[in-house]
Amino acid sequence: MKAAERSAWVVVLAGGVAALQVGKLPPALPALQAELGITLVQSGFLLSIVQLAGLSLAVFMGLLADGMGLKRSMVRGLCLLALASGLGGFATSVTALLVLRAIEGLGFLLVALPAPALIRRLVLPAQLPGMLGVWGAYMPTGTALALLLGPLFIPAWGWGAWWWLFSAVSLAMALWLYRAVPADPPVDVARAGQGAWSRLRLTLSARGPWLVALTFGMYSGQWLAVVGFLPSIYAAAGVSGALLGVLTAMAAAVNIVGNMASGRLLQRGWAPRSTLWLGFGAMAVGSTLAFASFTETQPWLRFAGVLLFSGVGGLVPGTLFSLAVRLAPGEQQVATTVGWVQQLSALGQFAGPPLVAAVAARAGGWQFTPLVTVGCCVVGAGLAWGASQALKRQV
């Protein structure tokens, strides 16, 4: 493996560490509910508040990351994650946790937004679709690891130590990335503040970035809502300990397979529309099996539905990361395009969990969750068709 390719893998690992900061909360929710007395809807906002920075600032953070240098942005983001997570371990109120989770969202953006452009700079063009498929798995990989370890770690050491652990991991990853990834070319740093509004205008006036971003929002909101609430759903059903960790981690981990498969399928000539339609179709069927009342007495069929939802649904983000790079107006707008995609993805993740929680609270159960998820899939499939048409016109 060449040095540049090894550096690209370090970039992917850095994304996984940033995703750990998002995934650390779901397994801690039962402990936080017991110690701080937070409600179900407050839990939904804790799940989604980390996306506040992305919801409001992602496209501008993409401009900033492009200007300060891709590597430099990632290192600073990891350091900010370490700081916020370290302070979060001392939090004694929901308000403090919400504020620090929002700061973690800012650090997350500084890590996640420049990564696809940095990977593009490090690998050969022929390797790019496959590597972007790997990059698409950074979120489920980090989430799965946190979901697996959390139910084992938190009862023994407490949720505060859980926050401090990820603070240390983020700081170590910042040092590794600083040492392993080549320095930003001078042109990247010199571009800071130069032509920023021009890049933004070119990005937001193009149809492709909008279609990719809106499609990502339809995916991300429902995925975080379903996977994020699984620990609470299973805990309420009497599942606990290692089994709780394994089940919820599997639900997140199978998403990695879909992401990896998207890169392979695109390299083999599959149309992006095909992989997106397959992914959204699986999410619609899987969420219906997982939550509809007619499967209430069949827990393993419900779990199979969750695996279908997350696993085949993983084709969606891997495909969309590839489309974001291809539908960017130009090479200098890649980070800005990814920022816009992240912003609307964050909008979905911010709105999805509270919406699903509100529907569940009103219904007295999770049986109407498919009303939200299937609706997102139908809209996402329509947007995917539009994105494929934009790609054809570009070619």
Residue 202 contacts residue 333 (beta carbons within 8 Å): yes
Rounded Cα gap, residues 289 and 124, in angstroms: 42
Residue 206 contacts residue 327 (beta carbons within 8 Å): yes
Question: Which of 238, 325, 342 has the alpha carbon at shortest distance from 18?
Answer: 342
DSSP for 19-57 reads HHHHHTSGGGHHHHHHHH---HHHHHHHHHHTTHHHHHH
What is the reported pLDDT for 1? 59
Query: What CATH number is given to the structural domain containing 150?
Result: 1.20.1250.20
What is the reported pLDDT for 286? 94
Q: What is the dihedral of CA 182, 184, 186, 192, to 10 degrees?
A: -170
What is the reported pLDDT for 51? 67
Q: How many domains does the chain have?
A: 1
Q: What percent of the chain has pLDDT over 90?
A: 37
**pLDDT by residue (tens digit) across 307-334?**
999 999 999 998 998 898 889 887 777 8
Mean pLDDT of 229-253: 76
- Is 321 strand, coil or helix? helix
Mean pLDDT of 64-89: 90
Question: Which of 258, 248, 394 has the alpha carbon at shortest distance from 321?
Answer: 258
Q: What is the dihedral of CA 323, 329, 335, 336, to 10 degrees?
A: -110
> What rounded mean pLDDT belongs to the chain?
86
Question: Which of 279, 237, 287, 248 has the alpha carbon at shortest distance from 262?
Answer: 279
- Is 113 strand, coil or helix? coil
Helix axes 334-363, 115-122, angle to 10 degrees: 140
**pLDDT by residue (tens digit) across 275-296?**
999 999 999 999 999 888 888 8
Mean pLDDT of 217-223: 93
pLDDT classification of 71: cutoffs 50, 70, 90: very high
Question: Which of 23, 317, 12 has the alpha carbon at shortest distance from 143?
Answer: 23
pTM of the predicted structure, to 2 decimals: 0.77
What is the reported pLDDT for 187? 58
What is the reported pLDDT for 69? 83
What is the reported pLDDT for 190? 46
Asked if the model's pLDDT at residue 336 lies above 60, the reply is yes
**pLDDT by residue (tens digit) across 162-172?**
999 999 999 99
List the domain range (segments joined by +) for residue 378.
3-394
Mean pLDDT of 130-141: 83
Which sign, positive or negative, has the C-alpha torsion 184, 188, 193, 197? Answer: negative
What is the reported pLDDT for 247? 82
What is the reported pLDDT for 73? 92
**pLDDT by residue (tens digit) across 186-213?**
754 445 444 677 878 888 889 999 999 9
Rounded Cα gap, residues 387 and 383, in angstroms: 6
Which has more pLDDT, 378 or 54?
378
